[in-house]
Structures are given as structure tokens and as C-alpha cells.
Amino acid sequence: MTEDHLLRILGVDGTTGRLLDPIPEAEARRWVDDALRPRPARYGVASSDLASASWGVVFPEGVDASVRDALGPLLALRQRQAGSLYQELTYRSGQDAATFRHHLRAGFGRVDARQVPWYLLLVGTPAEIPHGFELDLGVPHAIGRLAFDAIDDLAAYAERVVASEERVVRRPPKAALFAPTHPDDSATRECIDYFAQPIRTLLDQKLACSVLLENDARRAGLLNLIAGAPDLLITAGHATVFEPDIDCQRRLQGSLVCAEWPGPKQCKSIPTRYTVTAQDLPVGSLPGGVAMLFGCHTVGTPRFDVFDSVSKTRPLTRQPFVSAIAQRLLGREGGALAVIGHVGRAFPASFVWRGVSQIGPFEDTLLALLEGRRLGEALDGFGQRYADLVITWARSRIDSASAPTDSLDLWRAYQDAHSWSLIGDPAVRLPAAMPTT
């Protein structure tokens, strides 16, 4: 089987040291026929003004009062900012995104902030509010999620967000970019050529950026980058992936693989000395910052593979969860305001299309954050890319004779675009980038 008939994945098995098996084309095409369903396009009311765009929080049915109490300072802040458009909503078990919005009398298309807030913060584990609900709701809305194992982490995060909006940091923002490569590994080579280098060029024009690429992107270097407290941390490369029956899955899945790993042909496992795990992060990591972690499962793991959402033949975990590394960055021992990454597997289709770099959504997000925009607004380009792919895919299914590209390419890019997720309040913004006038 030639490489052209395989779909490469940005992940490596943390137990065996093998690259995740590419998906054979024949199998992927069966998934396309079984699983792919067009979804409505996105028409957001992207705005940093919460009094216009509105803000709401979604709790699972029967949530303990202590959860709301822990979020009290953040809820009070958003209520002041959104005014009459502030809402507290309830997710009921079994609801999908369309049913949830319908019960609130919201139609498809443009969000009406009087019915459902554009900014929505989901508070609960993926077992309480499923990943699928979150990802689908993220098409018309700006969505974020908070889920911690300890209530103290939730309270610490709420207090941090409030403090970040009450201060102005009068200095230019700083960024850090980290992207390793490994022998016998074409996926990380693509990360460098089509993602990291173009992002580096963009950032070098705008601000001070610390960069570690290819063999220089080593474990100690990443920890030093984080210790330097960048406002933006961007990583791209493999993350560790474990089978559901491995006890360390919840603790280590989504850990960042560094350049020390000698590649799949030379190393049959991924020792933690080759990775940066949640436990490796220093206390207070990324104070007031935002992390974008490109790699498999960097922010979460669903119960079933999103690429296999109908037949559900590939359970990924016993219970869906938010990654330990995202929780650590945002919890009481962290300092970050948000983490952006993948729920499930990550493909280079996020940033390259048939040999051409397509990093427009990434560039737009970074530039908007540097201008002081709220994160949900800054990420709007990801939703637009997803909607464009859905429309193109739907057209290819209706009229295959006029399809501009192979349907498998479209399906892969469509699903990958759907897998991006935000952990944190979607209304946060960088304190260092806030307007000073």
C-alpha cells in the first residue's frame, strides 16, 4: 500500500513507541459513507462586546451548588458585562446541540443573542456534557469548557479570569513556538514546513518570539519556554496516545513528545523523559496566557473516535475526559486563561491541503488575540473554515461529477476542523494585549 493511500495522524503510542497506524483509504471511505452528515454553516455575531454578543453558562442537570459557588466571581463579572443578555442554562442528558437550541427557540443560522448567548461556557466533564454536543454547538457559537477533578481548581480559574480583566499589562506580548521533528516521521516534517515556519514568520513581524524547532525542540527547552511566561504558547507535533485499558491513559494522554524521541524505528516506547506531561509543568505556568497545543488528544478524549461517530467501533477510553495537561495549565497550580487543542486525533489537514499551507485561521486567531480580541471572536475563522468544508463536502455528495477534489480529502479536513476545542472561558483575552486607551 502506498503512502498516498494512508491518512497519517499526529500521535504516537506512549506504550510501544509506534506512530499511530495511518488509516487505510478503504476503511476511511467506509467511515465517510457511514458517518458523515452535513451540518449547518456558521454565521456568528463575532464581537468582543459582551453586551452585544451576550454570554452564558451551561451547567449539567442536577449540578451541585458548590460548582456554581466556585464560579461566582466569574459569573458576576460576565453578568455585569453582558447585562440583560446574560443567561444561565441547563444541559439535559441526551440532548444534541440542535435540540438544545430548539428548546431555547433558536433557529438555524445567525445567532440571536436574545435567545441564546453567542459566548457559551460549558461547565462539566465530557461524561456530563458530551464532547459531541460541545463540538456541534461550537459551529454557530463561541464555546469553551471547564472541567476539573477538584472544585478548588474551578474556583482558582474563576478568580484568575476576573483578575486578568481588572488589570492592564503595559508591555508588548510575548510568544513561544515549539515544534520538534523525528527520524522516519513525515508528519512532523509537514508540521515544520507548512505550519511552524509560516507561523514563525508571522510572529517575528509582530512581537518577540522564542522559537525551538526540529532537533532543537527538546524537553528542557520546552520547559524553559514555559518558565519564560509567554502570553502565547504554540506547540505542534506528536502527543502520546494510550489504549483504554492502560491505567496511565487519563494522566498521560495528550502529553507533548519532544525531539529526544528517536522515532518509531529506533524506540519501541515513549519514556516520560521524552515528553512533557502535566506533572512536569511548573506551578503558575503561563500566567495570563493562552496555549495552542496542536496534537492528538491535547485537550480531551471522547468516548468514541469522532471519525467513527456512527458505527462506534473504536472506543478510545472507558470514560471521556479533559486532558490532564489542559487541567494543570488552567487549575489552581496553573496560570493560563485558556488552552486550545484537539479532542481526539489530529491530522495535518488542519494546516495543509494537497501540499499547500493553509494556516489562515491560525494567523487570524493569533493576530486577533494580539489586538486584544476575546478568544471566542479570535477563533471565529476556525468555524468559518469548518462551514466552508461542510458546504464543499455536501456539494460533492449531491453532484459528485462536479466535485472539485476527492471526497476523502474533504472528509478528513472536515472532521479535523470539527475536532478543535477550547478549554476555558471563550470570552477571555490576553491582558498584555488589552487596549490601553
Instruction: Tell me the three cell numbers of residue 303.
Output: 468516548
**Digit-coded pLDDT (tens) for 10-27:** 678 887 777 877 766 665
Whole-prediction pTM = 0.86
- Note the pLDDT tens digit of each residue in 48-93: 889 988 999 999 999 999 999 999 999 999 999 999 999 999 999 9
Q: CA nearest 291: which of 283, 299, 300?
A: 299
How confident is the model over 298-325, as a mean pLDDT?
83
Chain segment 337-390, per-residue pLDDT in tens: 999 999 988 888 888 877 788 888 899 999 999 988 999 999 988 877 877 777
Tens of pLDDT, residue by residue over 200-239, are: 999 998 888 999 999 999 999 999 999 999 999 999 999 9
* pLDDT band, very low/low/confident/very high, at 401 (cuts 50, 70, 90): low
Q: How far is the C-alpha of 384 from the C-alpha of 360, rounded, in Å?
A: 11
- The rounded percent of the chain whose pLDDT value lies above 70 is 85
| Cell numbers given for 400 | 459528485
For 210-213, which contacts have Cβ atoms below 8 Å and span 24 or more sequence positions?
210/174, 210/175, 210/176, 210/177, 211/176, 211/177, 211/178, 212/176, 212/177, 212/178, 212/179, 212/180, 213/177, 213/178, 213/179, 213/180, 213/181
> What cell does 69 get?
459557588
Per the CB < 8 A criterion, the answer to whether 420 and 276 are in contact is no
Tell me the fold of 3-37+171-376: Rossmann fold (3.40.50)
Q: What is the pLDDT of residues 328-345, one digit of tens each?
A: 999 999 999 999 999 988
* pLDDT band (50, 70, 90) for residue 425: very high
Q: Average pLDDT, whole number, for the chain? A: 85
pLDDT bracket for residue 437 (50, 70, 90): very low
Q: Is the pLDDT of residue 132 over 90?
A: no
Residue 407 has pLDDT above 70, yes or no: no
Give the pLDDT band of residue 38 (cuts 50, 70, 90): very low
